[in-house]
Amino acid sequence: MRTPTAPRLWSFALIALLVATAAAAFAAEPCAHRGKLDALFCDEDRDLIADPPKDPSKLVSP
């Protein structure tokens, strides 16, 4: 049985990272205006306050 070499492990890790990033990008809700907010948040009405999620099941009570 062969043991994986370091370059092979790095390429596998890079591919896994790219797949995870792409999956997160496709799963995100579309946002017309994000401003300077993090990718997790959206400010569609441009009032400089993050809007609640459109899907009520994603709303978390503090």
Give me the phi and psi of 21, to 5 degrees please: -65, -45
Collapsed DSSP state (helix, strand, coil) of residue 9: helix
Q: In this predicted model, which residue has the larger pLDDT, 14 or 4?
A: 14
pLDDT tens per residue across span 10-48: 888 889 888 877 766 665 567 888 888 888 888 889 888
Please report, for the chain, the start and end positions of each structural domain, with discontinuous segments joined by +: 6-58
pLDDT at 29 (0 to 100):
61
* Range 8-39 burial, b when 16+ CB lie within 10 A, else e: eeeeeeeeeeeeeeeeeeeeeeeeeeeeeeee
Residues 6+ apart with CB under 8 A from 54: 29
- Look at residue 3 and tell me whether its pLDDT is greater than 80: no
pLDDT at residue 50 tops 70 = yes
